[in-house]
Chains A and B, each alone.
Chain A
Amino acid sequence: MTYDAIKHFVWGIGDNNPLWATSAPPSFVYAIDETTIAPGYKDHQRHYESVILEWFQPFTIGEKIHTEQSCEKEVFEDDKSIFHQTGKTRFITETGKVLAESTVVCRRDMMPLPEPENRPEIRYSEEELTAIERKILVEQRRGPKPRFWEDTKNGEELGNVTKGPLSIMDIVAWCSGTQGAPNNSKDFSTGGLLTQAATGPQLTSWLIHLITNWLGDHGTLVRLEANLGGSPLLGSTTTISGAVTNLGKNEDASWCELSIQGHLQNFERIIDGTAIVHLPSKENQ
């Protein structure tokens, strides 16, 4: 794990938080491994359908991290051509510390991918484009000022992050920060990459971008569960927002539960997430 690798990753999600000059965002797991475990059935598509991510220890720059993966189960629907594979990925240091773990369900089916042509919903008016740009430019980041648990209210909104209209360069940037070029020779031979879409790990990283913006430099993301119901194709715009839905305190920490949703520009809901974060407490000051 190097400064360059973190830089490439955060550039890939368009997150210019200065905190990432000295540490890695929780989503950095995806720079190490995309966490898809969906072996076999090469004629079936892979859809990153849901993920549970848990973080146990902070990442340290300079550390070598490897993964251990296991395929947990395979559940078929009544229509046997559709099934769901679950796999776990553990992110482990050279000394054997488990830093994080993901549990991912992949839907496998043979339904054709949606064609990107004739998609009137990706044509924007001047006003819509200005509004999107404005939303992006005013995104709030908490930064170094601690967000104390005591000051946090149930129902408080998290702000939002907006990603779009999705450009091929956004996809290039994501691939450059993670697993390199996709190996999709079919699309590559037709003279264009128009069927490219943001992937599940990419959406999850956008979601985490919202959480870390809200959390500030002193909070910690410990658990995230996200259901992903669609892939934004090129030209689409995804806005992610959320709110505090529960608060509590136990021996270890003062925690908050966050509920997060992501919508496309046509209001189609494609992300549903729940996160647990730890916030600093005034009692420990």
Chain B
Amino acid sequence: MTPERWGVIDETSINEARELLGVPLRRDRMQWNAVATQDAIRQFADGVGDPNPLWRDSEYAAQTRWGSILAPPSFLYSVDATIVAPKLPGVQWIYAGTRWRWYDVIRANDEFDVSVVFTKMEEKTGRRFGIWVLQTGEITYRLKDGSLLCMAEGRVARTPRREKRKLKKKSLKREKLPKVTYTPELKNKTTETGATPIWESVNIGDVIGPISQILTLNRIFQWYTGAQGALHYGGAHGDAVRYRNRHDDYEINKETGAKDSAARGHFSSKEGKDVGMGGAYDVGLHRIAWVIEMLTDWMGVEGHLAEVDIDVLKPNIVGHITYFTAEVTKKWFEEHPFVALRIQGKNQFSEITTEGTAIVALPAEEYGPVALPLFGGNPKRWVENIK
């Protein structure tokens, strides 16, 4: 890679990436957890900050329909993070969103087989980044016996690095926003794991939340240790050097002058500002895991989270509070009793940072408990029945 080509988005680099469309991608060194051991589940739930006993307490879980500990649906981020961003060396990647479809629950000691295909590449233009690219990948999670557990679509924005952007300085400036005043109740989220709502009792227009989540550096660090380590940036020490030599994915550390990981912006206000995020910023996957936590808290032990489709729209900065809400928008029966929800996350300045939809299958008086796997584990029936 010549220095002039590093970080460039143009026809040549876009076409190079296009050649990989439809090709199954290798995921060497991309899997944090291969098995959902109880330790791994607990560490992941700690990373999210989700105290739900269903992920932690064997005695509690033994009394439930499942008989043993489950992993939160977002646990699959630690099995494969859904980051599919091939080629475009030196072009920074920013996680943009996921569409999850879970056919079944994740049980303790489940072992996973993952396959990944790069499926879509869209060119975009925007005020903030000029020309950028949205890359989409499809990730299929199966259990060792071949049964389908989940399918995900991961979306990654590839944006030019700041020094490669041709933008007026003015457009990079963030509006000055008022300082946050902390109140004790904001230090912890306010949800509690409740009983499962019965499908018949849920009404269109019902609102969940707002659930508040405050971002601290400690929480970002906890997400890293529970969900991914440094693996999305090539790992540590010699592993990272070898990775950078293969992929040209790095930032120059201004202190040392050395090639370093772009993830540093998650751990320092200064670095976060340097990469144009306005401060130390969160990991998009973590924010979506917070949405999933709100939904699993609401649906209780007996509900099944079927689908979540979330876009991460704006950076969430250390010290900011996100208020998540979900509103029931639809209720229907097609093989299973479903409700659809509209999801929103706003920061304390009322900026919408997170947006999307979710579908939950609930137990019903008429139909009994949720039958799993959904649609008999058949993706064709899913597409026909959920539009």
Task: List A residues at the B interface (Cβ < 8 Å).
Answer: 2-5, 8, 11-16, 122-126, 129, 132-133, 136-137, 139, 161-165, 167-170, 172-177, 180-183, 185, 188-189, 191-194, 234-235
| Closest beta carbon of chain A to B215's beta carbon, Å | 11
Query: Most chain-B Cβ atoms within 10 A of its Cβ — which of A16, A126, A129, A173?
Result: A173
Interface bits B299-320 vs A (CB < 8 Å: 1, else 0): 0000000000000000000100
Tell yes or no: B7 within 8 A of A by CB: no
CB distance from B174 to the nearest CB of A (A): 15
A181's nearest neighbour on chain B, judged by CB, is B221
Q: Mark B229-245, 1 if CB is under 8 A from A, else 0.
A: 11101011111111001
A8 to B, closest residue via Cβ: B229
Residue of A nearest to B231 (CB): A11
Find the residue from A14, A15, A133, A174 having the highest chain B CB count within 10 A.
A14
Cα separation A170 to B233 with both chains bound (whole Å)? 11
Q: Please, which residues of chain A bring their CB within 8 A of the CB of B224? A: 172, 175-176, 181
Q: How far is the CA of A169 from the CA of B257 in the complex (A)?
A: 16
Q: Is B261 an interface residue (CB 8 A)?
A: yes
Query: Closest CB of chain B to A267's CB: distance in Å?
Result: 18
Chain B residues within 8 Å of A124, by CB: 256-258
Known: A16-B242, A136-B241, A137-B242. A181 touches B230 (CB 8 A): no
A180/B226 in contact, CB under 8 A: yes
Given contacts A3-B34, A167-B253, A170-B237, A11 and B216 within 8 Å (CB-CB): no
Q: Which of B222, B238, B253 contacts A180 (CB 8 A)?
A: B222
Flag if A180 contacts B43 (CB, 8 Å).
Answer: yes
Q: Which of B37, B256, B258, B268 contacts A2 (CB 8 A)?
A: B37
**Top-7 shortest CB links A-B:** A14-B237, A176-B229, A191-B269, A173-B236, A181-B221, A173-B230, A192-B268
The answer to whether residues A172 and B256 also contact, given A183-B218, A192-B267 and a CB cut-off of 8 A, is no
- A13 contacts across to B, CB distance below 8 A: 236-237
Interfacial chain A residues near B225, Cβ < 8 Å: 172, 175-176, 180-181
Residue of A nearest to B245 (CB): A137
Chain A proximity of B366: nearest CB distance (Å) = 42
In whole angstroms, what is the CA distance A182 to B226 when docked?
A: 13
Q: Is the CB of B35 within 8 A of A167?
A: no
State A167–B256 Cα separation when bound (angstroms). Answer: 10
- Docked complex Cα distance between A252 and B229 (Å): 41
Contact with A along B27-64 (1 / 0, CB 8 A): 00100111101011001001000000000000000000
CB–CB A192/B236 < 8 A: no
Q: Give the chain B neighbours of A126 by CB distance below 8 A.
A: 257
- Please indicate the chain B residues that have their CB under 8 angstroms from the CB of A162 in the complex: 238
Q: B256, A191: Cβ atoms under 8 Å? A: no
Are the CB atoms of A4 and B240 closer together than 8 Å? no
Task: Check A4 against B229 for contact (C-beta < 8 Å).
Answer: no
In the bound complex, residues from chain B placing their C-beta under 8 Å from that of A181 are: 218, 221-222, 224-225
Cα(A4)–Cα(B309), bound, Å: 29
B270 in the interface (beta carbon within 8 A): yes
Judged by a CB distance under 8 angstroms, whether B217 is at the interface is yes
**Contacts A2-B35, A8-B32, A11-B229; is A235 near B235 (CB within 8 Å)?**
no
Residues of A within 8 A of B222 (CB): 180-181
Q: Is the CB of A191 within 8 A of B46?
A: no
Q: Which of B238-265 contact A (CB under 8 A)?
A: 238-242, 245, 253, 255-261, 263-264
In the assembled complex, 27 residue pairs joining A and B whose CB atoms fall closer than 8 Å, in A order, are A2-B37, A3-B35, A4-B32, A4-B35, A11-B236, A14-B235, A14-B236, A14-B237, A16-B242, A122-B256, A124-B257, A124-B258, A129-B258, A136-B241, A137-B238, A137-B241, A162-B238, A167-B258, A168-B261, A169-B240, A170-B230, A176-B229, A176-B230, A181-B224, A182-B221, A183-B218, A193-B221
Measured CB to CB, the nearest residue on chain B to A174 is: B236
Report the separation of the CA atoms of residues A4 and B229 in the bound assembly, to the nearest whole angstrom. 12
How far is B219's CA from A182's CA once the two chains are assembled, in angstroms? 11
Q: Using Cβ atoms and an 8 Å threshold, which residues of chain B touch A2?
A: 35, 37, 39-40
* Contacts A2-B37, A188-B217 given; does A122 touch B255 at CB 8 Å: yes
Which A residues are CB-close (under 8 A) to B37? 2, 4
Question: Contacts A168-B264, A173-B235; is A192 near B218 (CB within 8 Å)?
Answer: no
Residues of A with C-beta under 8 A to B137: none
Residues of A within 8 A of B230 (CB): 11, 169-170, 172-173, 176
| Contact of A169 (CB < 8 Å), options: B43, B260, B270 | B260
CB distance from A212 to the nearest CB of B (A): 14
Pairwise interchain contact A16-B257, C-beta atoms closer than 8 A = no
What string of 1s and 0s marks CB contacts (under 8 Å) between B261-279 and chain A? 1011001111000000001
The answer to whether B239 and A14 have CB atoms under 8 Å apart is yes
A45 to B318, CA, bound (A): 27
**B295: Cβ under 8 A from any A Cβ:** no
- Cα–Cα, bound, A169→B241 (Å): 12
CA distance A168 to B318 in the complex (A): 17
Contact status B257-A123, CB under 8 Å: yes
Chain B 57-91 interface mask (CB, 8 Å, partner A; 1/0): 00000000000000000000000000000000000
Interface check B280, CB cutoff 8 A: yes
- A168/B267 in contact, CB under 8 A: yes
Judge whether B237 and A193 touch: CB under 8 Å. no
Nearest neighbor of B46 in chain A, beta-carbon distance: A180
Q: Given contacts A165-B256, A169-B233, A180-B222, are A192 and B270 in contact (CB under 8 A)?
A: yes
Complex formed: what's the CA distance from A174 to B237 in Å? 10
Interface residues of B in 185-228 (CB under 8 A from A): 216-218, 221-222, 224-226, 228
Chain B contacts of A8 at CB under 8 A? 32, 229
Given contacts A16-B242, A174-B236, A193-B221, 7 further A-B contacts (CB under 8 A): A2-B37, A129-B256, A165-B256, A172-B224, A173-B230, A176-B224, A188-B217
